């Protein structure tokens, strides 16, 4: 069988198309472009503040003024959108996460100010309570520590409305509560925010790779031994991801996301093939820190490793990728 199938050797030589850079470029099936990149950014209060995040070398918590400078640069180099995450001081955290819908809160202010100065950039904001809760969970909990799904949705809706009023372009619910996309869509529409888009973190897994992010926003402290397993997905499941995405689409999601990225490329492919929806992937904090740490030790070549990892997201079927490497990636892409 095999010998028959490949009997055209030596007239067929697949290496011919790999021989030089020009021909490799010409036949490449997938390419990474600046327009594929979304930059996640951590924000904090204050002016001219740039705080180091020890577990994410090269990533900072920025005050809004400094974030605006960075977003201007990203936008001028062709990055279509940024995703904002707040680092909220402990004094504003509560068990109910009420700061999440403060119309004068950090994220709401950031949205307003970025829109004023850089109207052309798309702004994505997270909808979930973890930056705002003392316990670090994405939802409200009862005395036993169980997550209250439907009560949480009421807060998420308020959070979404406050972001919409501030001028958000894309709302990204990352909380994994059942039914939240429908509730958010209905609330937005009833208030005239039909144009606000929903990018649903549909297949979000309960992952160890979020560790550095939780350092960055200070939500790691009291999550408890169960972590977020009662709402984020089990890493062993992929058929369930299809059900999650199907529900979010039915509820009104415009775009869907898989998270984390690299260990979940199979999920991206399945979802893209099944639904053909605009599908995004999040190269999460732990993925960033792994590549960064290995590069800083001289064990990996950073540029090649990063560009390869991102191209593989495209090959898997992602339309775009959220990556903490975005700033460097854009410069590397413009160089070549
Ligand atoms: C929280 C949220 C998380 C991330 C994005 N939104 C962390 C979590 O679920 O604990 C992780 C992103 C990253 O690790 O880079 N709603």
Please state, in angstroms and rounded to a whole number, the distance separating the CA atoms of residues 219 and 303: 30
| In the predicted structure, residue 4 carries a pLDDT above the cut 70 | no
| In the predicted structure, residue 5 carries a pLDDT above the cut 70 | no
Q: Report if residue 17 sits inside a domain.
A: no
221 is catalytic: no
Q: What is the pTM of this model?
A: 0.95
Report the residue among 213, 228, 290 best suited for mutation to probe ligand 1: largest number of ligand atoms under 8 A from its CB. 213
Measured in angstroms, how far is the CA atom of residue 24 from the centroid of ligand 1?
A: 37
Quick one: which atom of ligand 1 is closest to the CA of 211? 14
Angstrom distances, CA of residue 8 to CA of 2, 13, 115, 132, 207: 11, 9, 59, 64, 47
Burial classification of residue 80, based on how many CB atoms lie within 10 Å of its CB (0-12 exposed, 13-18 middle, 19 or more buried): middle
* Any ligand 1 atom below 6 A from CB of 248: no
Q: Report if residue 234 sits inside a domain.
A: yes
What is the dihedral sign for C-alpha 193, 199, 202, 207?
negative
45: CB partners within 8 A, 6+ apart:
63, 89, 106
> Quick one: pLDDT at residue 3?
52
User: For residue range 44-53, what is the model confidence (pLDDT) as tens digits?
Assistant: 999 999 999 9
* Any ligand 1 atom below 6 A from CB of 214: yes
Range of the domain at 118: 30-335
* Any ligand 1 atom below 6 A from CB of 267: no
Measured in angstroms, how far is the CA atom of residue 20 from the centroid of ligand 1?
A: 41
259 is catalytic: yes
Helix (H, G, I), strand (E, B) or coil at 3: helix
Q: Report if residue 19 sits inside a domain.
A: no
User: For residue range 53-65, what is the model confidence (pLDDT) as tens digits?
Assistant: 999 999 999 999 9
Q: Report if residue 235 sits inside a domain.
A: yes
Q: What whole-number percentage of the chain has pLDDT above 70? A: 98
- What band does 174 get if pLDDT is binned at 50, 70 and 90? very high
Q: Report if residue 75 sits inside a domain.
A: yes
Q: Are 54 and 215 in contact (CB under 8 A)?
A: yes
Please state, in angstroms and rounded to a whole number, the distance separating the CA atoms of residues 280 and 263: 14
Q: How many domains does the chain have?
A: 1
> Quick one: pLDDT at residue 9?
83
Q: Report if residue 127 sits inside a domain.
A: yes
Mean pLDDT calculated for residue range 159-177 = 98
Q: Are 274 and 244 in contact (CB under 8 A)?
A: no
Q: How crowded is the C-beta side of 153, counted as CA atoms within 13 Å? A: 14
Give me the CATH number covering residue 62.
3.20.20.70
Q: Report if residue 327 sits inside a domain.
A: yes
- The residue whose CA is least distant from atom 6 of ligand 1 is 174
Closest residue by Cα to residue 79 from 120, 113, 29 = 120
| In the predicted structure, residue 1 carries a pLDDT above the cut 50 | no
- The residue whose CA is least distant from atom 8 of ligand 1 is 210
Q: Report if residue 157 sits inside a domain.
A: yes
Quick one: which atom of ligand 1 is closest to the CA of 210? 14
């Amino acid at each position: 069988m095999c010998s028959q199938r490949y009997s055209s050797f030596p007239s067929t030589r697949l290496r011919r198309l790999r021989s030089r850079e020009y021909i490799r470029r010409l036949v490449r099936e997938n390419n990474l472009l600046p327009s594929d990149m979304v930059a996640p950014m951590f924000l904090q209060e204050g002016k001219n503040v740039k705080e180091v995040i020890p577990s994410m070398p090269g990533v900072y918590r920025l005050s809004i003024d400094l974030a605006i400078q960075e977003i201007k640069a990203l936008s001028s180099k062709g990055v279509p959108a940024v995703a904002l995450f707040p680092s909220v001081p402990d004094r504003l955290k509560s068990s109910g996460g009420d700061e999440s819908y403060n119309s004068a809160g950090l994220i709401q202010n950031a949205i307003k100010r970025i829109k004023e100065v850089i109207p052309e950039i798309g702004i994505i904001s997270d909808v979930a309570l973890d930056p705002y809760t003392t316990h670090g969970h994405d939802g409200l909990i009862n005395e036993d520590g169980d997550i209250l799904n439907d009560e949480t949705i009421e807060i998420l809706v308020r959070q979404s409305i406050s972001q919409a009023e501030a001028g958000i372009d894309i709302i990204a619910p990352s909380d994994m509560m059942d039914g939240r996309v429908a509730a958010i869509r209905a609330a937005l529409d009833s208030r005239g925010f039909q144009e606000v888009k929903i990018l649903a973190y549909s297949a979000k897994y309960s992952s160890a790779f979020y560790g550095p992010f939780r350092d960055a926003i200070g939500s790691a402290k009291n999550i408890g031994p169960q972590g977020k397993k009662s709402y984020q997905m089990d890493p062993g499941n992929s058929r369930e991801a299809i059900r999650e995405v199907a529900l979010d689409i039915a509820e009104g999601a415009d775009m869907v996301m898989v998270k984390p990225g690299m260990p979940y490329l199979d999920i991206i492919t399945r979802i893209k093939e099944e639904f053909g929806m605009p599908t995004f992937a999040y190269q999460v904090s732990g993925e960033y820190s792994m590549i960064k740490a290995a590069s800083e030790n001289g064990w990996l070549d950073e540029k090649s490793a990063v560009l390869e990892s991102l191209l593989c997201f495209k090959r898997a079927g992602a339309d775009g990728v959220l990556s903490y490497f975005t700033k460097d990636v854009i410069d590397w892409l413009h160089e070549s």
